[in-house]
Structure formats: C-alpha cells, structure tokens
C-alpha cells in the first residue's frame, strides 16, 4: 500500500462529504448565503475550507469544515496520542530523543449544525485520519482513524433517537459483520460527551472512536463512510420530520439554555477544541465555529417536573440504549 | 497573632463587602427580587452565600458570592500553589510524603455584574485569603491574599477607564505609600485576563494579584479593603453616568457578542473557575454564576473600521496605561 495514495483517497472522501452535507443543508435554508472560506497556514503546512451558514431562516449557525495540516510532532501531541493508543501501537518505535524528525499529519471533516427550530436537533460529526511520518524519508510510522457522530436534541423524540442510532448501527454491521463496534463506540460516545462538572451528557449519543483501525485502510475508510452517510441521511430525515413543528418563546429559551451547555462542553472538555487551541497559529474561527450563535445561562435553573424539558434532562443524566 | 482570629476578621470583611455591594446594585435594580442561596458542603467542610440578580430591569445577571471551604491539601492544589509562590515561601516546610495531614482553607468574595445597558460595563472582583494549616495541630504553615478587580466595557469611555484605575491606584498608594504595587498588579491583570487563543484582552484591566503579602495581616487586609471599596465606588459612579444612555439593537448585539468572549475566558482560561470545577462536590451553580445570561458567537465577525466597536477591540489588542 502506498501511504500517500491513501492520504489522497481519504482526502477525497472528506471533501466529498463536506460538499454533500453542505448542499443538503440548503434543501432547508433559503435565506442565508453560503460562506466558504478557504485558508492556508502561513507556514504553508496546512490548508482547509470552512463552510458556514449564519443567521439563516432555518439554521442559526452551521459549519462544515475540512482541514489538512502537517505539523512537527511535539512532546505534548505525542503524549496525548500515546495515552490513547492500543497495545502494540507502532508509536513505540518512535525515537523519543529525536521527536523533531517526525511529522503529525491530520486530515478530517468536522461539522456542527444548530437549527433555529427547537424541535430540530443539533448534530455533530467528525471523521479524520491521523498519521505519524518520518519527515525526511516519508516513512509511515503509524496511522489511525478517529471520529464519530452524535445527536443533541433540545426536545426529545424517541423515534428520532432510535432512527439515528439504528442507521449508524446498521452501517457498522454492513462493514464489520456484527454490532460489536457499534456497542463499544456507542458506550465511548456516552462516556465522552459529558459535562462532567454537571454529571450530565451533552446529547443522546451516537458513536465516538478516538483511535481506530480495521485490518486494512480500505476497510477503515469503508467504516468511516458508513457512519458518515448514516449520520447525513438520518439527520436529513429528522429535519424533514420536525421542520414544521410550531414553537413558542419558552421553547426558544430552552434551546438557548441547552446551547449554553453545548458551549460549556466544547470550551471545557472537547479534546478537538483543545487540540485546536493548542496548535500554534491555528485558525481560531474554524475551531470555534462549533459554538452556537446564541447561548444562555440562567442561575440554578431546573425545569419543572413532568415537562418535556425535564424529561430530556432525565435522559441526559442516564444514557439510554436506543437500539 | 492568632491565625484563627485573623480568619474571622477576614471573613467579616468579606461578608460586609458582599452585603454592601449587593445593596448597591438595588439602587439600580427595581424589578428582580434578590436571590440569596445559602449552602453548606455535604461533608460539612464549607459553606457560602450566593447572591444573584437575574432577568432584572437593570441587570441581565449579577452575582456576589462568598464561600469558605476547608479541603484536604492535594497534590494538584499543592503544585498549583507552589508554582506561583515567591521564593522563601513556607510551602517548602510541607512534608511532601504526607500531604494528607494538611488542610487548604480558602475564604473569599467573588462578583461578576452584567448590566443590560450596553453602555454600562461588566465588572469582576475577587478578594480572598488562602491558608495552609496542619490539620491536627491547627498550626498555620503559610497564608496569603489574592484577588483584584477589573472592568470589561462593551463600549469604551476613556474617562470611565481612567476613573476606575485612578481610584484603585489612589487606594493602593494610601495603604503602601507609593504606586509600585498598582503598577505591578495592573501589569499582571493585563497579562492574565487575556483570551490567549485570540491574543485579545477580556477587558481594560484593573489589578490582579494571585499571591500577595504585606508586612502584616492587618496591612494586607487594609490593601484588600482599599481595592475592594475603590472598585465598588467607581463602579457605582460609572453606572450612574451611563445608566440613561439610549441604545439600539446593534448595541445589544455587540453586547451579546462581547459576552461570548467573556464566557470563553471564564470557561477556557480562568484559574478560579478551573479550581472550582476541580474541587470535588463543588457547587457548580455558584462557580458558573460568572457566565452571562446571554452570549453570542458570530462566525469571523470583525466590526467595521472607524466604529466604536472597532475602537474597543483595538484597545483590547493592546493594553493602555490609563493613569
């Protein structure tokens, strides 16, 4: 296998997914003009395309970004990666006394969509590959996939939650033959997207994998594609079901309140955001594109028992096996 | 000197300041009822009083909290303190193999005030004492003061910024005889309250001291009081000057946008928030009371050159010596 060829193949998937997802959004959005910002790192070691909808008639804010960066392997990045690698990882081969001779290659697509209608959920997804290479020789030391997708409803519709998880599960079974990976990564998702300081999940889950390989690059890519398009198709189906649901001021207030929680997770806990903020000369606006347009923090607010607002909080305190 | 007596003296200052400050706010607020939540830690090792205004006619959100906790000295807390202590600190006397025999005592008042009128600034202040004691004997190992106060205008009035700094400077000169401490702590403030990921200050400064002692407890307390009441009096004077300034939707939008930046600082960088979120069984609502009621993140928004919005961003990018 030619590693560089694999990079191009993954990159093509990422670009295609960005395009398809962003186009899908415009089947709902009819006011906002698409914002497309192509950027290049000043040191030449990376580029990306940030696609944004803001202040639309359907979306408060939506971003679908791709980026491709090659930065020197640092002690910090190495330790972070090493901490998560499964036993037997090639990272052990790295000459710790000479980290500077390696590069970290990261390529991926990342999206966060915040609709206006409080009955339409927020969705997040990220599909990436990370590679460690010897700079001079181009020799690939290690590579893996990471990513996943998850749903954050403001109001909970059980049938949407089931549909979302079922489609991801089915896509994974298609690629791997059983639902073992779905079970494992659903669990990791429930454990990761948590506002630990509140013991409250951000949303109702999906799948999350931070360090993942199957027997071949091709199989891994198939897995990434399976989850990615299950996410896209489910989300479009859910938006179609919920887009005309009428809402009132109280629903909007609850939406803004939940988006405060979303911002908390992204700013305090999210590893991707931290990685971004730690990357020298990173493009801040692309990283913090994930933040909602509006957020609200009310002191010590707890919804009344028996309300729909209280019901979703209950589910966020205790994850559910949806399928 | 009897250390326990000093604790009571400091505690009385903190309670008095909370009361006076919260009462001052009701010379402006006439709609919202004061929320006063007294709390006690379940393990009995601390208590506090959280005083909040929310959704008022004058204040979007305002919190003035006191807390007094005694928690076992942990490796994490010790390292954090040690990293900041001046040479010669008594922390060197601590038996590192037996951290469990020490307690950390922390007592202070903390406030963040977010007015509705975008021409009225946000203010933050914190006055605290930290003490390390041997649990069994009650022996005081080390103690110091920390705190400061700083102003975050949404729109900049140079005369307000000057007044605010002048009053703090004068109070410090009154206690210490010259403005050396003002200069130093103004600089530390400008260096600390920064959204480093944006290279942009949170506000226009004030003073900040994280580890501070004068020749005696009494002198140190005098310093804390001096800064505290300079902050209170200046803030009331500024509110009186700006409270009737008319504003429009664009001013409100800019206010929410700046509050997004405020939330970013508090959730990503603020050491007090981190300390709080790291404290086991901490009262989250009191810690995150500092977050604004509403915040807004617009993708890649930069105000037009020549506007008042652009002028304050210019000052946030490059701190000013106001006096």
**DSSP character string of B227-250:** HHHHHHHHHHHHHHHHTT----HH
Q: How far is B95 from chain A (nearest CA, A)?
A: 30
pLDDT digits (tens, 9 = 90+) for B163-200: 999 999 999 999 999 999 999 999 999 999 999 999 99
Contact call for B299 and A285, based on CB within 8 A: yes
Quick one: pLDDT at residue B80? 72
Does pLDDT of B94 surpass 70? yes
Distance CA B275, CA A236 (A): 42
Residues linked to residue B112 through DSSP beta bridges, in sequence order:
B63, B124
The residues spanned by each domain of chain B are: 3-317
The Cα-based distances of A186 to A55, A165, A245 in angstroms read: 32, 9, 29
The Cα-based distances of B216 to A55, B99, B220, B227, B228 in angstroms read: 57, 27, 6, 17, 18
Quick one: pLDDT at residue A3? 62
Quick one: pLDDT at residue A89? 72
Does pLDDT of A152 surpass 90? yes
Q: Please give the residue of chain A at the shortest CA–CA distance from B52.
A: A299
The B206-212 sheet, strands edge to edge: B35-40, B46-54, B59-72, B102-115, B122-134, B140-152, B206-212
The predicted model gives B1-20 an average pLDDT of 88
Could you tell me the pLDDT band of residue A120, with boundaries at 50, 70 and 90? Answer: very high
DSSP per position, A212-255:
E--SSHHHHHHHHHHHHHHHHHHHHHHHHHHTT----HHHHHHH
Contact A160, A169 (CB under 8 A): no
pLDDT digits (tens, 9 = 90+) for A290-304: 999 999 999 999 999
Dihedral (Cα; B16, B164, B285, B74), 10-degree rounding: -80
Contact call for A297 and B297, based on CB within 8 A: no
Could you tell me the pLDDT band of residue B3, with boundaries at 50, 70 and 90? Answer: low
SS3 state of residue A303: coil
Distance CA A251, CA B150 (A): 36
pLDDT digits (tens, 9 = 90+) for B120-146: 999 999 999 999 999 999 898 888 899
pLDDT digits (tens, 9 = 90+) for A92-117: 788 888 888 999 999 999 999 999 99
Quick one: pLDDT at residue B79? 77
The least confident of A18-32, A82-96, A178-192, B69-83 is A82-96
Quick one: pLDDT at residue B84? 67
Quick one: pLDDT at residue A196? 94
Contact B132, B91 (CB under 8 A): yes
Quick one: pLDDT at residue B270? 93
Quick one: pLDDT at residue A1? 52
Does pLDDT of A167 surpass 80? yes
* Chain A residue set in contact with B, beta carbons under 8 Å: 35, 37, 52, 54-55, 61, 63, 197-198, 256, 260, 263-264, 267-268, 277, 282, 284-285, 288-289, 291-300
The predicted model gives A249-277 an average pLDDT of 94
Q: Report chain A's mean pLDDT, rounded to a whole number.
A: 93
Quick one: pLDDT at residue B37? 95
Contact A271, A148 (CB under 8 A): no
* Chain B residue set in contact with A, beta carbons under 8 Å: 35, 37, 52, 54-55, 61, 63, 197-198, 256, 260, 263-264, 267-268, 277, 282, 284-285, 288-289, 291-300
- Which helix (DSSP H) or strand (DSSP E) does residue B115 occupy? strand B102-115
Tell whether the torsion through CA atoms of A117, A119, A122 and A123 is positive or negative: negative
Select from B295, B296, B301 the residue whose CB has the most chain A CBs within 10 Å, as the one to mutate to test that interface: B295
Does pLDDT of B286 surpass 60? yes
Cα distance from N-terminal residue to C-terminal residue, chain B: 37
Quick one: pLDDT at residue B42? 87
Of A256, A292, A297, nearest to B297 by CB-CB distance is: A292
The least confident of A58-62, A297-301, B4-8 is B4-8
Does pLDDT of B93 surpass 70? yes
Quick one: pLDDT at residue A280? 75
**Going by C-beta distance under 8 Å and a sequence separation of 6 or more, which residues neighbour residue B150?**
B123, B124, B125, B189, B193, B202, B203, B204, B205, B206, B207, B208
The predicted model gives A247-261 an average pLDDT of 98
Contact A54, A64 (CB under 8 A): no
Q: Are strands A200-201 and A194-195 parallel, antiparallel or unpaired?
A: antiparallel
Exposure string over B173-189, b if 16+ CB within 10 A, otherwise e: eebbeeeebbeebbebb
Could you tell me the pLDDT band of residue A182, with boundaries at 50, 70 and 90? Answer: very high
pLDDT digits (tens, 9 = 90+) for A4-14: 689 999 999 99
The A35-40 sheet, strands edge to edge: A35-40, A46-54, A59-72, A102-115, A122-134, A140-152, A206-212
A153 by Cβ neighbours in 10 Å (0-12 / 13-18 / 19+) ranks as: buried
Contact call for A299 and B63, based on CB within 8 A: yes
More reliable by pLDDT, B243 or A139: B243
Nearest to A153 by CA among A187, A200, A203: A203
Q: Are strands B122-134 and A294-296 parallel, antiparallel or unpaired?
A: unpaired
The predicted model gives B204-226 an average pLDDT of 92
Contact call for B295 and A296, based on CB within 8 A: yes
The Cα-based distances of B114 to A263, B34, B259, B264, B286 in angstroms read: 19, 15, 9, 15, 15
Does pLDDT of B109 surpass 60? yes
**Going by C-beta distance under 8 Å and a sequence separation of 6 or more, which residues neighbour residue A244?**
none
Does pLDDT of B161 surpass 70? yes
Q: Is A110 left (phi over 0), alpha (psi -120 to 50) or beta?
A: beta
Contact call for B295 and A293, based on CB within 8 A: no
Exposure string over A225-243, b if 16+ CB within 10 A, otherwise e: bbbbebbbebbeebbeebe
Distance CA A145, CA B126 (A): 45
Phi and psi of B316, rounded to 5°? -70, -25
Q: Per the residue annotation, which of A47, A114, A124, A302 is the catalytic one?
A: A124
Contact call for B296 and A296, based on CB within 8 A: no
Token pair, residue B207, equals: 């003073």
Of 3.30.1950.10, 3.40.1500.10, 3.40.50.300, 2.60.40.10, the CATH number of A3-317 is 3.40.1500.10
Could you tell me the pLDDT band of residue B81, with boundaries at 50, 70 and 90? Answer: confident
């Amino acid at each position: 296998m030619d590693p560089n060829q694999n990079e191009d193949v993954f990159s093509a998937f990422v670009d295609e997914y960005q395009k398809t997802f962003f186009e899908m959004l415009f089947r709902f959005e009819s006011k906002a003009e698409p914002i497309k910002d192509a950027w290049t790192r000043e040191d030449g070691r990376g580029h990306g395309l940030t696609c944004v909808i803001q202040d639309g008639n359907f979306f408060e804010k939506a971003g679908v970004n791709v980026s491709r960066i090659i930065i020197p392997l640092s002690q910090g990045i190495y330790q972070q990666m090493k901490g998560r690698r499964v036993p037997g990882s090639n990272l052990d081969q790295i000459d710790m006394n000479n980290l500077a001779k390696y590069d970290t290659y990261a390529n991926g697509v990342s999206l966060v969509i915040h609709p206006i209608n409080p009955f339409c959920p927020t969705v997040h997804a990220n599909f990436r590959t990370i590679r460690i290479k010897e700079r001079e020789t181009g020799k690939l030391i290690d590579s893996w996939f990471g990513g996943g997708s998850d749903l954050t409803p403001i109001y909970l519709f059980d049938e949407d939650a089931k549909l979302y998880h079922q489609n991801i599960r089915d896509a994974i079974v298609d690629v791997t033959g059983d639902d073992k990976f779905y079970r494992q990564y659903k669990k990791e998702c429930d454990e990761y997207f948590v506002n630990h300081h509140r013991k409250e999940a951000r949303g109702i889950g999906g799948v999350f994998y931070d360090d993942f390989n199957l027997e071949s690059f091709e199989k891994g890519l198939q897995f990434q594609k399976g989850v990615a398009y299950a996410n896209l198709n489910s989300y479009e189906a859910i938006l179609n079901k919920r887009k005309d649901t009428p809402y009132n001021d109280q629903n909007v207030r609850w939406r803004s309140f939940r988006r405060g929680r979303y911002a908390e997770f992204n700013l305090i806990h999210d590893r991707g955001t931290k990685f971004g903020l730690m990357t020298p000369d990173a493009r801040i606006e692309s990283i913090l594109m994930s933040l909602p347009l509006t957020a609200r923090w009310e002191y010590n607010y707890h919804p009344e028992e028996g309300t729909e607002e209280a019901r979703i909080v209950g589910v966020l305190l205790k994850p559910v096996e949806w399928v």
